[in-house]
Amino acid sequence: MDIYTGPFFEQARENFAVIADYLEIPEHQRLRLLMPKRAIVVACPVHRDDGTESVFTGYRVQHHLTMGPTKGGTRYAANLHLGEVAALAIAMSWKCALTGLPYGGAKGGICLDPYSLSKRELEAVSRRYMQEMIPFVGPKTDVMAPDMGTNEQVMAWYMDTYSMYHGNTVTEIVTGKPVDAGGTVGRREATGHGVVHLVGRAMERLGIHPAQSTAIVQGFGNVGSVTAQSLVQRGVRVVGVSDHTACYYDARGLDVPAMIRHTAQHGTLAGYSTEAAFDPRHLLTQPCDILVPAAMEQVITGDVARKLQCRILAEGANGPTTPEADRVLNERRREIFVIPDILCNAGGVVVSYFEWVQDLQQLFWTEAEVSDRLNQVLERAFHAVMDRAQRDKVSHRTAALAIGIEKVQKAKLTRGLFP
């Protein structure tokens, strides 16, 4: 696995090693479970608005094809690299297995700063990326979705590009599309709603009343903004919020709907307020009941974990907690209730699965149907994780990963090795 490098890939490898030891997976089976099946790297040349040309590097990693097509988001970020994409693809596999979806994990993206391109340039590079990926993806092979830096519009461009190539509309090639382009109701909000549904379950277990509790949310994109809004709707006081341009804290509570209106108008949180401005380096360690990292990976380091003053850590982002931090959190198990990423943010892929099913059948569900079925899947996964953690006296993360990895291992063993 020499082509996959970087601290985030090492985190995926370390997380897997912990579980493989706990499940006593024989050494000779481990690489077959962890090694991604395919990695595709493409050059995406585009015309810039100033008349010059640029080439952006695009990636797609498909982790395993044992249980169905692969499924996973597409990330646009300035420092994206193959190791990060592979780590995210691997986590998607364990997440899909934990929630019982008939998928392997995948992830992709383009190494670019989405905030530095015009809309026309973004469309050009998105279409070119999908064009380059056509031989490797398909509704029964690999189904893309949004992730950091991409949104419903990008998914609509992907779907259109793929459909133009095939000569007919293939809505089931991507999920997270706008509803009027074959998307499902409830997909945009699914991840944030799922986070808050599970936070609700954790609060019940800890005896925390929403109206007397506070929350801090890092990241104010799709996951962060919907989570913050949904927490407010449940009566929680959101005291801290940040994105990559600004950070705000107010112990009396922030006006989340006004912040959502501000970002809808200006794109980011910058310029929302001068009074509540706060140092982002100290946001995660402020006292609160619910802490939701919903931006990037590896923000909860060992040092941050030792200083955390929350009671629930709800991992909206993928991989926000380093292995060192995880060991600290394990020691602080009685103080901090962790909802690990592959459970906490699974609402997104669950409703993506619903969208794919609806597109394949051309039979569309109501918002209530989507939300009821989402809650059922999350409930099942939450209780499975809690039961396993209690039974084996392991952390919630170990329990969640073990359930996922065990399912993939069983499927691989049952199918056998070809030829």
**Active-site residues: which are they?**
107
Nearest Cα to 406, choosing from 37, 98, 71, 38?
98
Choice between 28 and 281, CB closer to ligand NAD: 281
Is the CB of residue 291 less than 8 Å from the CB of residue 284? yes
CA–CA dist 391, 25 (Å, integer)? 19
Element (H, E) at 76: strand 70-77
The answer to whether residues 227 and 217 touch, using CB atoms and an 8 Å cutoff, is yes
7: nearest Cα among 324, 328, 346: 324
174 CB-near residues (< 8 Å, 6+ apart): 143, 144, 145, 155, 158, 159, 162
CA dist., res. 16 & res. 34, Å (int):
8
Cβ-proximal residues to 165 (8 Å cutoff; 6+ apart), any chain: 131, 134
Least gap, CB of 78 to ligand NAD (angstroms):
10
Query: CB atoms < 10 A from the CB of 333, how many?
Result: 14
Interatomic CA distance for residues 376 and 136, integer angstroms: 33
Q: How far is the CB of 212 from ligand NAD (least distance, A)?
A: 27
The rounded distance, in Å, linking the Cα atoms of 26 and 40 is: 29
Q: How far apart are CA 134 and CA 198, in angstroms?
A: 37
How far apart (Å, rounded) are the C-alpha atoms in residues 39 and 5?
13
DSSP state of 142: E
Smallest distance from ligand NAD to CB 227, Å: 9
CB of 106 to ligand NAD, least distance (A): 13
Q: Which is nearer to ligand NAD, 225 or 398 (CB)?
A: 225
Here the tokens at position 374 are 């989402």
Q: Which residue has tokens 């310029």?
A: 271
CA angle 35, 38, 44 (to 5 degrees): 135
Residue 235, judged by CB atoms within 10 A of its CB (0-12, 13-18, 19+), counts as: exposed
Nearest to 234 by CA among 263, 190, 197: 197
Nearer to ligand NAD, 20 or 294 (CB): 294
Give the single-character DSSP code of 278: -
Toward ligand NAD, which CB reaches closer, 36 or 146? 146
Instruction: Give the binding site for ligand NAD (CB under 6 A).
Output: 146-149, 191, 218-224, 242-244, 294-296, 316-318, 345, 348
Q: In the complex with ligand NAD, which residue's Cβ is closer, 385 or 394?
A: 385
* CB of 10 vs ligand NAD, minimal distance in Å: 17
Residue nearest to ligand NAD (CB): 221
